[in-house]
Amino acid sequence: MVISIHRKLETIINNNWNNFPFGKAPYASIDEYMHKAKTTKKYKYPEIDKYEKQTGFSVDKKWLHDLALHTQIVIKESTLCYTHGQILYSALSNYVFKHQKTHLSTTRIVVYETGTARGFSALCMAKALHDRKQVGTIITFDLLPHTVPMYWNCIDDWNFGPLTRSELLSKWADLIKDHIIFHQGDTYLELSKVQTERVHFAFLDGVHDFDAIMHEFENIEDKQKNGDIIVFDDYNPLQYSSLVRAIDEICMSGQYDCTKIGSMDRGYVIAKKL
């Protein structure tokens, strides 16, 4: 009976996201998407550049901008910024570099992500694993389906019409095949179902409120050991005060050493398990 209720609940939740959640037509013209891409590419982020130099790793910018054109250049009121791709690539590359000093590269690394969206951040992390020749699995959670065609509010809507996420990301199919598992569902229901003994690295970018971030954190913290990493996105007290309060509480708990990095209105916190 309980299983039946859970399945019905999951079906109701998932169906809401399977029916063109971004609309049933393209948002804007190709020219508008291209203009946003060119404008966004010109922005400078000295704090992100500094972090890349500190870690010793930076993602190939041509590769990054190409991926962003299909997954991050969208129509919305706020300023577009995809520096989280750079942060994730550098942080995970640095983690792998240190990991490989004491472990073989064939020792699998497990990465959790909440908030897959179009797959940009998962692919940036997959790129880091690939470039470091590191075996690893990225399990990424989102309410959006991976195999249901839809418009994605991106330039590909004009080129191809409704696509599945799998089709949208077909250019990067090899990285996906080697490293990424897409898991649909609400993290309140789904995180506890995925049983892994260790979470070496995590990127939390799901629902931006206190309860959601604490729930995700509590499902990960006991699976981490000394030196393991959690990256928190959108650390901005003006926009996400509840999210910031949760991250601050985690940082003040004494379990993690936290580094805060600013990028325009989009801040990040990199928390290392003590």
Q: Please state at what angle helix 46-55 crosses helix 84-102, rounded to 10 degrees.
A: 10
Computed over every residue of the chain, the mean pLDDT equals 92
- pTM reported for the whole predicted model: 0.93
**pLDDT exceeding 70 applies to what percent of the chain?**
93
Q: What is the predicted pLDDT for the residue at 266?
A: 81
Q: 203 exposed, middle or buried (CB, 10 Å; 0-12, 13-18, 19+)?
A: buried
Q: What is the predicted pLDDT for the residue at 78?
A: 86
Q: Calculate mean pLDDT across residues 53-71.
A: 98
Q: Calculate mean pLDDT across residues 71-98.
A: 95
Short-list 259, 232, 272, CA closest to 47: 259
Residues in the chain: 274
Q: Do 273 and 227 touch, CB atoms closer than 8 A? A: yes
Q: What is the predicted pLDDT for the residue at 99?
A: 94
With a cut of 70, say whether residue 14 has pLDDT above it.
no
Domain extents in the chain: 2-273
With a cut of 60, say whether residue 259 has pLDDT above it.
yes
Q: Calculate mean pLDDT across residues 122-137.
A: 98
Q: pLDDT (tens digit, 9 = 90+) per residue, 182-230?
A: 999 889 888 988 989 999 999 999 888 999 999 999 999 999 999 999 9
Q: What is the predicted pLDDT for the residue at 11?
A: 67
Give the C-alpha separation, 150 to 12, whole Å.
18
Provide the 3-class DSSP secondary structure of residue 53. helix
pLDDT band at 80 (very low <50, low <70, confident <90, very high): very high
Residue 163 DSSP one-character state: B
Which CATH architecture is the domain 2-273 placed in?
Answer: 3-Layer(aba) Sandwich (3.40)
Q: What is the predicted pLDDT for the residue at 113?
A: 98
Q: pLDDT (tens digit, 9 = 90+) per residue, 131-177?
A: 999 999 999 999 999 999 999 999 999 888 999 999 999 999 999 99
pLDDT band at 21 (very low <50, low <70, confident <90, very high): confident
With a cut of 80, say whether residue 20 has pLDDT above it.
no
Residue type, 131: D
Give the C-alpha separation, 85 to 197, whole Å.
26
Q: What is the predicted pLDDT for the residue at 132?
A: 98
